[in-house]
Structure formats: structure tokens, C-alpha cells
Amino acid sequence: MDWFLLQTKSREELRAAENLARQEVESFCPMIRVEKIARGKRIEAVEVLFPGYLFVQLGESSVSATSIRSTRGVSHFVSSGGRPIKVPSDLIDQLRRRVAADEDQVVSSLPKAGEKMNIIEGPFRGLDAVFHQPDGNNRALVLVTMLNQQVKASISFSSLSAVNDSSI
């Protein structure tokens, strides 16, 4: 039994996995818990680790590749030279162990209140800031020190960078 990588239709990984299970094809879609901002609030959500991809296990007596390609949610096999690429079963085992071990952990790239940040673009570029709170889905309220006074500013998350404290 070999593992292969499928590309799924946009945001249809779970639909493809469900439809493959109905055909008795084993699939693996690694999921992780992430912290993100929705409607201006921090929430935890379970998301696909590799969006747009799904691992499937096939043997010689399994369902045909044509049947799998025409499964709802599936786009195509990831291939090289016209042949589907085999994924080492050791890699699948490692991913399964890692996902199971990190089941209770939440991945977050969001800053915490009071965290020091650098502003890397925009009119406040080069200034230091302190993260205050999210301001919608894509922006943050930060405190910027200007003229010996802290001023609140709403800045895009993409314009902020965490301060690396290892240099201290």
C-alpha cells in the first residue's frame, strides 16, 4: 500500500476525505488548532495543516485512479512526469504522531497584549510600538511613543514585526 498526494479543490479537503471514505479509500488530512482573529476577537479554530492537499493510501486492488480523480472535492494527483508522486509512509507516520502529540496545543502567530513590536512599513515605519489589541481581522491597535507621549494607532498586522529580544 503506497501513499500519494492529492490536490483538492479550494477548501474542500474534508469533503474530499469524506467522499473517499465512502469509496473505502484511506485518506489522511492533518489538522491543527490555531488562534486567529475573527470579527475583532481572538478565537481558536481547527484548520487543515496543508490547505489544498490530502494524502491517500492506494494498493493494487484499490479503487482506480480515475475514480479518485473524479471524486467530489478532489482536483488531481500531484505528479511529476505524468506519474503520481509517492509519499514515504514514514512521513505519514511522523505527521500522524506529531498531530496526535500536539492535539491540545494551539498554534498562534498573534501578538499578546503588551508585546513589543516594530513598525516595518507605513508612515510610522521604524518606530517601536506596544501591541494593545486587535482592531478587526487585519489590523491592530498599538501604542506608539511620539513626543514623549503614547498614542494609539490602528496599523495593519502585515506592517508589524515582533521585536527579537535575543539581542539584549
The CATH code of the domain that includes 138 is 2.30.30.30
Q: What one-character DSSP code corresponds to residue 79?
A: E
In terms of domains, do 134 and 59 share one?
no
pTM: 0.65
Domain membership of residue 124 as a residue range: 116-163
In this prediction, residue 146 carries a pLDDT of: 80
Domain finish residue from 108, 126, 145: 108
At 166 the pLDDT is 47
Note whether 11 and 92 are same-domain residues: yes
Residue 168 covered by a domain: no
Model confidence pLDDT, tens digit, residues 44-77: 888 898 999 999 998 776 678 888 989 999 999 9
Q: Domain with 7 in it: what CATH number?
A: 3.30.70.940
- Quick count: other Cβ atoms within 10 Å of Cβ 155? 22
Identify which has the larger pLDDT, 109 or 32: 32
CA 97 to chain centre: 18
Domain boundary among 62, 83, 108: 108
How far is residue 110's CA from residue 38's CA, in Å, rounded to a whole number?
Answer: 12
CB 83 within 8 A of CB 5: no
Of 119, 167, 165, which is closest to residue 143 (Cα–Cα)? 119
| pLDDT for 5 beyond 90 | yes
Residues 83 and 125 in one domain: no
Q: Which of 71, 75, 93, 72 is nearest to 84 (CA)?
A: 75
Domains identified in the chain, total number: 2
Read off the pLDDT of residues 139-166 as tens digits, 9 standing for 90 and up. 888 989 888 888 888 888 888 887 765 4
| Tens digits of residue pLDDT in 76-88 | 999 999 899 999 9
